[in-house]
Amino acid sequence: MLSYRQLQSGLGRRGPHLFSDFGRISSNTGGSVGAHAPKYLRSTGTRFASSNAAPKFGSSSMFVGLAGLLGLATVGVLLIPTVNVKAPTETTQGHASAVEIKKAIADLQTALPGEVVTGSICVDMSGMDQIIEIHADDGDLVCQAGARWEDINQALHDKGIPLFFPLDPGPGATIGGMIGTGCSGTNAVRYGTARGEWFLNVTVVLPNGKVIKTRRRARKSAAGFDTTQLFIGAEGTLGIVTEATLRLAPVIPTKVAVAQFPTVQNAVNAVQEILNSPDGPHIQCVELLDNKMMEAINAAGLVSRPYPVSDSLFLKLQGTDISIKQTAGMVQQVFKKHGSYHFEFAATEEEAAEMWENRKYALMSTISAGGEGARVWTTDVCVPVSRLPELVYETKKDLESVGLDKTTIVGHVGDGNFHALIVFNSDEQLPKVSDAVHRLVHRAIALDGTCTGEHGIGVGKKEYMYDELSDDTVELMKTIKAAIDPLDIMNPDKLYPDKPADRKH
C-alpha cells in the first residue's frame, strides 16, 4: 500500500494542480512560495526559492522590495542566510549582501527583458532550521524561524523529553510561516491558536534594519503591551522573524476514534454538547469530514478497510486511562443521542496512526480521487460553531448547483473552521471556482465569521478585509504598517487591502 508521503510526491510529478486563494501552487517551488507569490512573478514562470522536483510544503519565504534593499544592507549580510533567485536559466544561491542581491536582480532583468517586473527578492528561510536551546524544566524551547513543527516534536521525542509544541498546521510548515499566518490546526480545540501564548517571544529584523527581541523568556510579563502579537498574522509585512521561543505542553496519552452521523447538523450538535461538558477538556481534536471527503479517502485507496460514506467525526481523546475511559463513555452516549449510527475506537497504535493520517492528508486524497488532471482550490473560512451546519449546507448546495460536486469539506469543527477543497479540471472553470469561493466568504462573514480561520489573507483575500473588519479597523492596521515599514518593503502587496472601491467582487 502506498503511503501518503509517496502519494504526495507522486501527485507532485503530475504537474501544477494545487490552487489556493492566493493562486497557483506550483509543483516545483515550495508550495507556500507559489501560494503567496505575487501574480506577476508566477505568471512569468520565474521560480523563487526551492528547486526540488517534488512539492516541498513549507519552504518558508517572503518577498522584499528592491526599493528597500539599500536600507537592508546590514540585514542582507548578517541575517539573510540563503537567498535563492532562480529563473529558468539562472540560479544565485548562498549568503548574499544587498549589493549582490541587487546585481543578481539586474542580471535577471537583462536576461529576461520585460519578464521580471517587480525587482522583489524572495528570502528563503528554510536553511535557518536549528533548535538553539531546550529548557525542559521551564517547558520552552528556542529555535530558528525555518525550523518545522514536526521536526521540533520529533527532536523532543528522540531526546526522551515528554513535551511537544501543540500548533499543528500543514505538513512541513515552519515556525516563521506559522507566526506569519497566525496558524492553528487540529489541536486548536484544546490548545488554541498561534494567537495564544505559544510564542513567548520572537526576534525580528525590522524593515529599518534593526533587530529586536519582543520579550524575555519568562512565562508571563506585564511590561507594556504585547509586541510579539504584532508579528503573529502579519504575514511577514512588518519584519523577518529569525528566532522564537516556543512554549511547550506535556505529551498526554491519546486515543483516536471515528463516528458517523446522518447530517452535519447532528455531528455539530453532538460536538457542542461534549465540549461544554465537564469532560470537554479531554477532547484534544475533533474533526468533521463530510460524506464526499469520506468517499475520496476510500477511493484514494490508502485505507486498510473502507469507511462508511457519511458525514463523520474524527476525534482524539487525551488523558490518563481512567479519564479517557470516562470521556469515551460520555462521548458515545452523546453521539448516540444525536443520531450517530457507528462509533469505533482505533484498537492499536498503528490503527490510530492510520486514522489520523487519513484526516491529516485529506488534501492528497481529494486530489487523487479527483482522477487524472484533477486540480484543487483550497479555501478556509470560520464561523461561530453554532452557525457551521448552515454554512456547510448552503455551501454544498451552491457548489453542486454550479457543477463543482466533487468538492470535499474538512472542518476543525470544534472551532467552527472549515476548508472546502474544490475540485475542477480546467482553466476555463477557474472563474466559476473563484465566484463560488467569493460567495462562500460572504456567506461566512454574514454569519458573523471570518474570510479565513487559519490560512491568512495573502493577496487573494485582501478585498474582504473592509467588509469583515470595518474601514476604521483596516485603517488602524495600515497605520501600524506605515509606522513600521514606511517604504513598504516587506511583502509589498500582501494583506492590506486597497480602497473598498477597488474590490473585485
Ligand X SMILES: Cc1cc2nc3c(=O)[nH]c(=O)nc-3n(C[C@H](O)[C@H](O)[C@H](O)COP(=O)(O)OP(=O)(O)OC[C@H]3O[C@@H](n4cnc5c(N)ncnc54)[C@H](O)[C@@H]3O)c2cc1C
Bridge-based pairing state of the strands 254-260 and 140-144: unpaired
Contact range with ligand X by CB under 6 A, out of 99-107, 155-163, 235-243, 471-479: 235-243
Q: Which is nearer to ligand X, 58 or 68 (CB)?
A: 58
Is position 240 an interface residue for ligand X (rule: CB under 6 A)? Answer: yes
Return phi, psi of residue 48, to 5°: -120, 145
Taking CB under 6 A as the binding criterion, the range among 29-37, 96-104, 316-324, 478-486 that sits at the site for ligand X is 29-37
Alpha carbon dihedral 63, 69, 72, 74, in 10-degree steps, equals 120
For the record, the C-alpha cell of 462 comes out as: 485582501
Binding mask 241-270 vs ligand X (x if CB under 6 A, - otherwise)?
Answer: x-----------------------------
60 is a contact residue toward ligand X (CB under 6 A)? yes
How would you class 221 by CB atoms within 10 Å of its CB: exposed for 0-12, middle for 13-18, buried for 19 or more? middle
State the minimum distance, in angstroms, from the CB of residue 110 to ligand X: 27
In one-letter notation, the amino acid at residue 318 is: Q
Nearest approach in angstroms of CB 44 to ligand X is: 19
3-state secondary structure of 267: helix
The CA distance from 313 to 396, in Å, is 18
Tell the smallest beta-carbon distance from residue 392 to ligand X (Å): 17
- Residue whose entry in the numeric block shows the C-alpha cell 492596521: 477
**Piece of 108-116, 172-180, 258-266, 444-452 that binds ligand X (CB under 6 A):** 172-180
Tell me which of 12, 34, 176, 497 binds ligand X, using CB under 6 A. Answer: 176
Least separation in angstroms between CB 241 and ligand X: 4
Q: Which long-range contacts (CB under 8 A, 24 or more apart) does 427-435 make?
A: 429/404, 430/19, 432/402, 432/403, 432/404, 433/19, 433/377, 433/404, 434/377, 435/402, 435/505
The Cα 257–Cα 254 span in angstroms is 10
Dig out the grid coordinates for 50 from the structure: 526551492
Q: What is each CA distance from 431 to 60, 284, 428, 438, 505, in whole angstroms? A: 29, 38, 7, 10, 12
Among 375, 455, 462, 481, binds ligand X (CB under 6 A): 455
Query: Where do runs of H (alpha helix) occur along 199-290?
Result: 227-231, 264-275
- Please identify, using beta-carbon distances, which residue of 179 and 440 lies nearer to ligand X: 179
Site string for ligand X, 340-379 (x = CB under 6 A): -----------------------x----------------
Does 436 contact ligand X by CB under 6 A? no
Cα dihedral 286/290/295/299 (nearest 10): -50
- The nearest distance, CB 376 to ligand X, in angstroms, is 10
Only one of the segments 74-82, 97-105, 176-184, 262-270 lies at the binding site for ligand X (rule: CB under 6 A); that segment is: 176-184
Out of 11, 62, 248, 392, name the contact with ligand X by CB under 6 A. 62
* CA–CA separation, 323 and 85 (whole Å): 54
Q: x/- string (CB under 6 A) for ligand X, residues 126-165?
A: -------------------x--------------------
Q: What is the CA radius of gyration of the chain?
A: 23
Report the b/e string of 356-393 with b at 16+ CB within 10 A.
bbbbbbbbbbbbbbbeeebbbbbbbbbbebebbbebbe
Stretch that binds ligand X, among 168-176, 249-257, 331-339, 343-351 (CB under 6 A): 168-176
- Member of 124, 279, 454, 467 binding ligand X (CB under 6 A): 454
Burial class (CB in 10 A: 0-12, 13-18, 19+), 218: exposed
235 touching ligand X, by CB under 6 A: yes
Rule CB under 6 A: is residue 180 a binding residue for ligand X?
A: yes
Our CB check for ligand X shows the closer of 340 and 366 to be 366
Residue 178 is a binding residue for ligand X (CB under 6 A): yes
Asked if 170 is part of the footprint of ligand X (rule: CB under 6 A), the reply reads: yes
d(CA 325, CA 368): 37
Residue of the chain from 26, 174, 284, 450 that contacts ligand X (CB under 6 A): 174
> What is the spatial distance between Cα 191 and Cα 410, in angstroms, rounded to a whole number?
19
Among 36, 42, 190, 461, binds ligand X (CB under 6 A): 36
Contacts (Cβ under 8 Å, ≥6 apart) of 17: 11, 27, 367, 374, 375, 376
Total binding residues toward ligand X, as defined by CB under 6 A? 32
Q: Least CB distance from residue 33 to ligand X, whole Å? A: 6
The one segment of 65-73, 173-181, 326-334, 431-439 that binds ligand X by CB under 6 A: 173-181
Give contact residues for ligand X (rule: CB under 6 A).
31-32, 35-36, 57-58, 60-62, 125, 145, 169-171, 173-174, 176-178, 180-181, 183-185, 235-236, 240-241, 363, 454-455, 491
